[in-house]
Amino acid sequence: MFEYTKETAKTREAAIGALKEELGGVKFGVLWELDMTDTLQQKGQDFDKPITILEVCNPAAAAEVLKKDLKIGYLLPCKIAVYEEGGTTRIGMPKPTRLLGLTGREDMIALAGEIEETLKGVIDRAAK
């Protein structure tokens, strides 16, 4: 699986709020919050599925990987999506280990694993 996803009984807005709180506790910040539904509708698209994408970053981890290879910037920042599907709110992300695995850089996998575990914990706690 390329992704990690959890269901929550929270509304999309409440889940986003919980994510922001949890991210701050592990030194990640939200760089950008994109209401994809609203954006697509403003561009004239017939799209009504509720989805918000948060771009999140841990500055120390980002600096560490970028010092090794600037092309890793193609994969940054990390993304967490919060969406409603079938009446259920879901929180998910692409796994950093899978994304960095695409680079062929074995020296990045350990750090990607740490980031992945941290973000899984954030999602798990936010979903409760």
Cβ-Cβ contacts under 8 Å for 48 (sequence gap 6 or more): 37, 41
- Please name which of 90, 110, 114, 124 lies closest in space to residue 27, comparing C-alpha atoms: 114
Tokens of 60: 């120390």
Contact 6, 13 (CB under 8 A): no
pLDDT tens, N- to C-terminus, the chain (128 residues):
999 999 999 999 999 999 999 999 999 999 999 999 999 999 999 999 999 999 999 999 999 999 999 999 999 999 999 999 999 999 999 999 999 999 999 999 999 999 999 999 999 999 99
Its pTM stands at 0.95
